[in-house]
Amino acid sequence: MQAGRLIVLTGPSGVGKGTLLRSLLRQHPELHLSVSATTRQPRPGEVDGKQYYFVSREEFEEMVAAGELLEWAEYAGNYYGTPRAAVEKPLQLGQSVVLEIEVVGARQINKTFPSALRIFILPPSWAELERRIRSRGSENEQAIAKRLSSAKTEIAAADEFDLQIVNDDLAKAVLSIEAAIFSPTNT
């Protein structure tokens, strides 16, 4: 059996990675989503085990120490990481696995899975990125400022990735991701 393919979707907070991913998964149920662990508090409507595994800082640090995470990073004051088993098992079964992770984690994945397809999502403009982050209404001004500061650094790293897609039109961006994943020259 052929091993599956690892697909990394990254970009700064607020570019719409989650929205793109939900649309992609609705159209392609054969793709396996790896659920990340985080120490941040759930946003309204988020369910433990679906959007994230919500854990305490202590639990997360134990996962790191035990080698249970494929990658991890601290972002905007919270830890985020990918449970190793949730990626390796489906890949061994020949399933393609999609990770929606932060740029620091995507760089770590490049070291452990150099054959992964790494897609960077860009905002249509800086003003639109700021509007999206603020419209969530789930963070204070200090947290928003941290996310925006991190976004500048992350956007500067876009050229490190295999493909850059501007999320200015949802349907068009999903088509671009599908082309990258399913094109015969990219498989």
The domain ranges of the chain are: 6-186
> What does the alpha-carbon distance between residue 36 and residue 165 come to, in Å, rounded to a whole number?
22
pLDDT values of the chain reduced to their tens digit, one per residue, 187 residues: 466 899 999 999 889 998 999 999 999 999 999 999 999 999 889 999 988 999 999 999 999 999 999 999 887 789 999 999 989 999 999 999 999 988 988 999 988 889 999 999 999 999 999 998 888 777 788 888 988 999 999 999 999 999 999 999 999 999 999 999 987 655 4
pLDDT for residue 96:
94
Name which CATH class applies to 6-186: alpha beta
Torsion of CA 64, 158, 29, 53, to 10 degrees: 30
Taking the alpha carbons of 179, 117, 23, 127 in that order, is the dihedral positive or negative?
negative
Predicted pLDDT at 183: 78
Q: In what order do the strands lie in the sheet with 163-166?
A: 32-33, 97-100, 6-10, 117-122, 163-166
